[in-house]
Amino acid sequence: MRRPPPPSSRTHWAYQSSNAGLTQQERILPELTDQLATKETEFATTGAELDRFRLHYLRRFAPLYAELDRLEAEVASRVAVRDGRLAWAASMSGETQLLGC
């Protein structure tokens, strides 16, 4: 079997240079991996905090928004009756107490 020819000085320099770059990349990789793990943990923690906030918000404010919707509907109904637009509906349905008649 024949041996390959010895590398020229130029080829040898390029080989050493690429090895030096690889060594630097290999040296940086653990640090970058740690930074990525930290960011992933922060992301997961923030997501969990956001989920807890959403749940708290819905528990606290959903009933209040439902009550607000009910009150707005009642006001709109009373205004409509006052303006005479639903007077006939109130008299036909017998819901005069709800409509403020």
Residue 3 lies in a domain: no
Q: Residues 28-80: pLDDT tens digits?
A: 999 999 999 999 999 999 999 999 999 999 999 999 999 999 999 999 888 88
Q: Does 46 map to a domain?
A: yes
Number of domains in the chain: 1
User: In this predicted model, which residue has the larger pLDDT, 15 or 32?
Assistant: 32
User: What pLDDT does 80 receive?
Assistant: 83
43 Cα distance to chain centroid: 11
Residue 19 or residue 13, greater confidence? 19
Of the candidates 54, 57, 100, the residue with the CA atom closest to the CA atom of residue 80: 100
pLDDT at position 90 is 62
pLDDT at 11 over 60: no
The residue range of the domain holding 72 is 14-99
Task: Please spell the DSSP secondary structure of 43-93, one letter per residue.
Answer: HHHHHHHHHHHHHHHHHHHHHHHHHHHHHHHHHHHHHHHHTTSSHHHHHHH
The answer to whether position 6 is within a domain reads no
Identify whether 45 is part of a domain.
yes
